[in-house]
Structure formats: C-alpha cells, structure tokens
A and B are shown apart, each in its own frame.
Chain A
Amino acid sequence: MNTGTYFKGQLKRISKLFPGIFALSVVFAIVIGISGGLYAKYTNYNKVISKYNIGIMCEQENPLLSVGLGLIKSIDDSRFLVNIYNYSSEEEGFEAIHNKEIKLFIVVPEAFLDNLMYQLGSPHVKLYAASSKGITTVMMDEVVNLLSDDLILTSTGLYSLKDELGQLSISDEEKKALNDKLFMKYMNSLLARGELTKINEIGLGDGLSFMGFFFCGMILFYTVMLSFCSISYFIGGRTEFCMICRAKGVSSGAQVLCEYICFFTSNLICGGFTLICVFMIFKSGLLKIDDFAHDLIPTYLRFSLFYLFVLIGLTSFEFLLFEVIRGIINKFLMAFLVLIGFSFLSGYFYPRSFLPGLANAIGKILPTGVAYDVLSCGITGAPNMINVIKMLIYLAVFLSFVVLARRVRIIKGLE
C-alpha cells in the first residue's frame, strides 16, 4: 500500500457512490432553481427594499427634463439606488404613496423653470414622503440634489443660455447649431455622472442587479448543499482503514489529500454540469439577468473561473466539517445548521449589508462570505485577486485542520 494505491482506492470508492451523488445534486439544483426562481419572480423585494422608489410629476413635453430622467434611469449610477416613476397628476402620486409603491413623490410645477429663469418668484419643488421610516433624511437630500441640482438647475441654466442665444443677432442655422451643442453638453454632463460616482454597496452585493444578486446567492447555496450529496462518502469512511493505511506508511496528510481530490472532483463534475445547464438556460433566453446581458459568454466564462476557486475553498470547508463532526446524525444536523447559518450571514438569502454591523463583519470573513465576494466579482468583473487569495488561504488552513483532525481520529479510535 502506498499513496498512489490509496488514491486509486478512494477514486474507485467515490466512483461507486457517484451515480447517487450526481442524481441527488441534480435534484438539489432543480429544487433550489425552481424555488429560487419562483421567489425571485413573485417577490417585490427588489422594488420595495433594495431600491428607493421615487415618483416624479413634471412637464413631460420638456425635452431636457424627459431626456435627463431617461438618462438617470438607464445610465447614471444612481439607477442602482433609485427607481423613478413618472406620474401625470398629484393624485396618482399620492395614491402610489398610499399603496406603498413609492417612498417619495416630487412635484416640479410647470412654471418652475420659467419662473426660476425670469426670476418671477420661486414656486418650490414639492416633496411628499411616505414616512420618516422608509427613507432617511440623508437619502432625501441625495435624491433632491440629484433631481434639483443636476437635472432641474442644469436645465434652467441651459434654458437661460438658450434664451440668451435668441437675443443674439445671428442666423437661425447658427442658433440651431449652438442649441444642439448646448444640448450635447447637457447630455455629456449627465453621462459623466456615471464615471464620477462610485457605488460601493447598495445592499445588493457590490453593484449586482437584484437578479444577479439572487443568482449568485442561489448558486452558492447550491454549492454549499452539494456537500450533502456526498455525505455517504464521509459516513462510509472507516477509522480502522485509516489506521492500517497509516501503519503501512500512508500518512494522515496523504490520506486527506487523496480524499480531498476525490471529493473535489465529484463536486466539480456536479457543479460544472449545473453551470453548463444554467448557461444553456441563459442562452435559450428563459432566464435573463442584466449582469450577463452584455457579452454573455465572456462574463459567464469569468464567472465559471471564479466559481472554481469558490468550489476549491468551500469543498475544503465542508471536508473539515464532515471530518470533525462524528456520528451520522450529527454529521447531517450539525453540518446543515452550520452551513445554513454561514449562508445567511454571508448574504446568500438576504443582502449582507442589511444585517447588523457585527453580523455583517462576521459574514465578510467567513469562508462562505469570501466565496460570495469572489463570485459576485466574477459577475461584475471587479478586481478580485485578494478574495481569490483569501480562498486559497482558507483551503490551506482547512486542509491542515483536517489532517490534524484525522490524526486525532486515528488516535481516539484507539483509546
């Protein structure tokens, strides 16, 4: 008996168990996929909790206002923070507030721009808030700044310049060219906001869309649950076998390494199969996620690459759990509780940043939390090496603990 023979034996063992492991992993993927999909489809979580819903009533025909609002909705970084809905009357806006569809209603009177421009008094922009609970004062200020300073005042300035242009004794064609130029300046100023603003976290994990966040969480939860599909591999492992292998020269470290490679290979095949299926679903158009909408293949490849690191780290963590926890029922129960708790703290079911400070901080350093950061950056394309390194450090630490636990297990088997 040597390490090679031990590895072959373990490989043969997991290959005998693999049909069951694979079938169970497919069932898990389907159950998690369907339940997650239904939740994502029917929840109003993204509308009510994750973003601030704001209503606005303004002069719809005003091209500057309508274009500006359009840009804020589609390009500006603030789109991660706010949903803006147009209303044609104050009654509609109030009704929306009462129905909890929006938190804030902004009314820009028709005469507002003209009055401001010609200094005929100042009919104010009126704000109506649902309550003091849902939206903070700071957020109110931000929204008001966004709409009044960047949009309304810029528009006012442009109107003033346009008016000045009208006074100039130049041809209409030249005026039109200057008008177009001004309009482009306005567009550029709005577009530039996207490059000036840095959104760190809006409660949805580093700028992921709601569906992106949800997809990331579900894939990670599936990966965590994947270990339960292979639990028979750990339940069937006999201490006595480890003992005689050690007596014959296969050290605890070599045993652990061989078993980890087998466990990882099994998880890799199951996880890889699931990722391929998900890709096919993306490709068919059945599932649409904004984060993957542009350049699906490169984004998905990057996501898959980072998933590999996640799998490497989480597999070692699960290996440690199953090695340390003794007893069949304990293995199921304890591992399940630990993994569910870790998943929650790491933000798989609910944005991590919404958790209280301490829980949030713990969630960030847990292996499951680091896995979330690796995978979310895999989707967004944000710089990610530090998290990948953290994952590899976790791998080394967990496997070292498994070796230690194996030694103790062999010795305790004797006592």
Chain B
Amino acid sequence: MEINISGVNKKYGKKTVLNNLELTGTSGDCIGIIGRNGTGKSTLLSTLAGVIRPDSGSFMIDGQNAFINDTIRHSEVAYVPQGTPLIEELSALDNLKMWYDADDMKKSLEDGFLHLLGINDFLDVTVNKMSGGMKKRLSIGCAINNNPSILLLDEPTAALDIICREAVYDYFKAFREKGGILIIATHVIHEISKCSKTYILKDGSLKPYIFNDDVSGLLKEI
C-alpha cells in the first residue's frame, strides 16, 4: 500500500493553516508529525480523516483520491482524535457494539487487536469511570473496527502511564507488521524515535526531518 498526499491547502478565514502539504508513505511506515501547539497538526489529521474538507489537494491511497472517494476513506482510514471520542454514559462493550459487527467484535476480543489492546479487562466499565489509559485504548479499539490500513492518531499517549503506553506501542508494532501505515501527531520524543519518518509542521508546511536523538537540534527546528 502507498499513500501520497500532495498540494493540500486549508484556510480558516484569512489564516492559512495547511499550505501545499506533501507527504508520502508505504506499508509499515510510522510517520511522526511534530510541531508547536497550534501549528495545524490536528487540522492535518482531521483533514485526512474527512472531518473537514481541504480547500484543495489530494490524498491518494493506492491511486484513489480519498478526498473524493468517501468509500475508500471510510474503509481504509481510521482516526483517533486527541480527546475521548466515546459515549461517556455507555460501557466499553456498548461503545464497541456501535462500531463492530457482533462476530467481528467477538473474534477481535478473543485474539485480535482488541485483545492486544487489553480491552477485555474493562468491557463492563462505563466510560466515565475509566482511567485515561482505558479510554485511549478503547478509542483506538473503536476506530479500527473496519481493519483500516491507515491509522491517524493525535497525541495517542499523552497523559498515559507507562503500562498503558507500552500496551499502545505493542499495538502500533503489530499494526505496522500487518502492513498498516501510522500517522502520529506527537510531542513525545520517545515516540518520534520509533517513527520511520518524521516531519516538522511549521508555517503550514511539512518539512522532512531526520531525528537522531538530538533534542536540542529538534527544538531549534520547530
């Protein structure tokens, strides 16, 4: 699988948030997007996910433009926003039922990605009684209901404890091994080091960056 994002522009009024963005990736890639707060990382992910429409540009998935073809985007792209995209009053199981067929959910809970995310441990807990880590794992679990090839994550491990963070990383590893492409907006250095490609988002444009554990160099760049 290949993705090719090119010429993506997005403006809010007169403010240019995304300016002629270019990005490519192939199966197994983990693409890290870093940048200061308010530079448009979330806007980029939301645009790719189809939450908001870009002013122009294309998002090609194996030759098909996902900005135009909703079917390919719905089947191939999953998005986990920064907050909690769950129904607070319902249990983990009820939330999953909204997204999954009964058989698929059962199978995934037994030995699939939901099992890997450890969701079995808190199936009956209502979301408003869950910890941050549980919510994040469940959010990812809900997002990947249709076995997507591309997973967009906005600060996926922010405010998670070490154990939850490792569970999420284990899942990322498995997802990439199966040929998926991860695009992560993050501020966590540890995550950046795990990425196969890194881009800095600055002034609306993406700039490739090779991270070699030089944090001070990275700080200068962003």
Contact = CB atoms under 8 A, between A and B. Distances in A.
A8 interface: yes
Contact of A240 (B82, B89, B99): B82
A41 interface: no
A414 B52 contact: yes
By CB atoms of chain A within 10 A, which of B83, B90, B98, B142 has the most? Answer: B98
Count class of interface residues, chain B: 20 to 34
Contacts of A247: 46, 49-51, 77, 79
A381 interface: no
Given A8-B98, A13-B90, A240 B84 contact: yes
A410 to B, nearest CB: 6
B74 interface: yes
Given A241-B87, A243-B49, 11 more contacts: A1-B98, A12-B90, A238-B84, A240-B82, A240-B85, A244-B51, A244-B142, A411-B12, A413-B83, A414-B42, A414-B46
B81 interface: yes
A238 B46 contact: no
Interface in A1-52: 1, 5-6, 8-9, 12-13, 16-17
A158 B45 CA distance: 93
Given A13-B87, A13-B89, A16-B89, A249 B81 contact: no
Contacts of B85: 238, 240-241, 243-244
Interface of B: 12, 42-43, 46, 49-52, 70, 74, 77, 79-90, 94, 98-99, 128, 142-143, 145
Contacts of A12: 87, 90, 94
Contacts of B81: 240, 243-244, 413
A9 B50 contact: no
A239 interface: yes
Q: Is the interface of A mostly helix, strand, loop or mixed?
A: helix
Given A243-B85, A244-B81, A16 B98 contact: no
Contacts of A411: 12, 52
B29 to A, nearest CB: 21
Interface in A92-123: none
Given A9-B90, A12-B90, A16-B90, A410 B52 contact: yes
B42 to A, nearest CB: 5
Contact of A415 (B43, B84, B90): B43
Contacts of B84: 238, 240-241
Nearest to A14: B89
Contacts of A239: 83
B52 A244 contact: no
Contacts of A414: 42-43, 46, 51-52
24 contacts: A1-B99, A6-B98, A8-B98, A9-B94, A9-B98, A12-B90, A13-B89, A16-B89, A17-B89, A236-B89, A238-B85, A238-B87, A238-B88, A240-B83, A240-B84, A243-B49, A243-B51, A243-B81, A244-B49, A244-B79, A244-B142, A246-B51, A247-B49, A411-B12
